[in-house]
Amino acid sequence: MTERWDGLVVGASLATLDASDGYAEIPDGALGWRDGMLCFVGPRSELPDAPEALADDVIEAEGWITPGLVDCHTHLVFAGDRAREFELRLQGATYEEIARAGGGIVSTVRAVREADENGLLAQSLPRARALLRDGVTTVEIKSGYGLNFDSERRMLRVARRIGQQLGLRVSTTYLGAHALPPEFAGRADDYVDAVVEWLPRLHDEGLVDAVDAFCEGIGFSPAQTRRVFEAARALGLPVKLHADQLSDLGGAALVAEFGGLSADHVEHTSPEGVRAMAACGAVAVLLPGAFHVLRETKLPPLDAFREHRVPMAVATDCNPGTSPLLSLRQAMQLACTHFRLTPAEALRGATVHGAQALGLPDRGVLRAGLRADFAIWRVQHPAELCYWLGGDLASAVFAGGVRLA
């Protein structure tokens, strides 16, 4: 007798995304899983037996089922907020002006350094829960608001605890090279020395899945970023980069040189950078929340990404300053509105390509043999996930076959 499945959903249509484009739809579908992995994905009519004979838990569903959403770029562990800076920007102050006046990232650094681990967890958990309720089953969380060893370590520990408490897969990214802390003013190279020295210590504690940096005029130079990437490579850690957001410093090409997972923001990426990303298989992570909040006008080179078949992911960039966004669906909607992505491109960006940007090939698609991460939606068509501005559309969210919401 065939081993019984742990669960089976029948009735809803499936957007499997198991194709090179489009939704790869299966009407009146069936989704079965065992031991946290999908074991059947197909039409209900092709089930090998009656549902009750196959699974211990059978769910009759309506609407649509998609892979669990993957938010591949967030800074959701932080303390305090920066609502006042939002007001200043509305009054005409630029991001760079606020940063150079002691605001921006450094203001959040002060709040994070003052928070203990439990306090930081208490402030960050609601943000992660909001993403989960909106269909996210995998989330990347960066450090970068501590900027000293103890605070960076505390942020990464909190990120791990969020995953443990909520059942989400949390992918941690070390972003020590995010900004220059006040105690290193005028000594950026010395600070990069410290960032490089902290990395193996944090990695030894199992706190680092990938390494990132902010390569920008108000961040770190390409040469300084290269030193961080070389330290990551020595430990066998993948790299990604805040690249070409405010100017073109060749960040996308630098990621490609190191065989990196992704270049993120990429509004100013050059044609040469696009070609380099295509050659190495790096993902372009689009962050329309920051584009929206900062009222940017320089679009990423979307046509070039399509022409060269560079995968485009979509993420929230959840952070206190430039993208206080707690819905990956809303990020998808903004990607359609600002960047003219199709709803199918946006959904693939928040699933298939988001998983690729994290180096996680076991999710992002509904296919037998992959993780049973999926969301059931109260919609009549997958395009509604990008159509509605907000709203409570997820009726159930599963990760590894376990219902989380």
CB 119 within 8 A of CB 380: no
Q: Do 172 and 364 touch, CB atoms closer than 8 A?
A: no
Amino acid, single-letter form, for residue 284: A
Instruction: Check whether 250 is labelled as a binding-site residue.
Output: no
Is 145 assigned to a binding site?
yes
Is 35 known as a binding-site position?
no
Burial class (CB in 10 A: 0-12, 13-18, 19+), 325: buried
DSSP 356-387: HHTT-TTSSS--TTSB--EEEE--SSTTHHHH
Which two tokens mark 322? 């430039």
* Residue 245 counted as an annotated binding residue: yes
Q: Which residues pair with 215 in a beta bridge?
A: 220, 243
Reference 213, options 201, 194, 195; nearest CA is 195
Say how many C-beta atoms besides its own lie within 10 A of residue 58's C-beta: 17
Which amino acid is residue 283, in one-letter code?
A: V
Sign of CA dihedral 212, 218, 220, 222: positive
Question: Other CB atoms closer than 10 Å to residue 11's CB: what's the count?
Answer: 16
Tell whether 174 is in a known binding site: no
* Annotated binding residue 308: no
Residue 28 among known ligand-binding residues:
no
Encode 340-379: b = buried (16+ Cβ within 10 Å), e = exposed.
ebebbbbbbbbbbbbbbbbebeebbbbbeebbbbbbbbeb
Residue with tokens 């950078």: 273
Report strand pairing: 29-34 vs 7-10: antiparallel
Distance of CA 307 to the CA centre of its chain: 24
Q: What is the DSSP string of 109-152?
A: HHHHHHS-HHHHHHHHHHHHHHHHHTTEEEEEEE--S--SHHHH
Residue of 154, 256, 153, 158 lying closest to 195 (CA atoms):
153
Token look-up 């989380």 returns 404
| Residue 242 assigned ligand-binding role | yes
268 is in an annotated binding site: no
Binding residues for Fe(3+): 73, 75, 242, 317
Binding residues for Zn(2+): 73, 75, 242, 317
Binding residues: 73, 75, 82, 145, 178, 242, 245, 317, 319, 321-322
Binding residues for 4-imidazolone-5-propanoate: 82, 145, 178, 245, 322
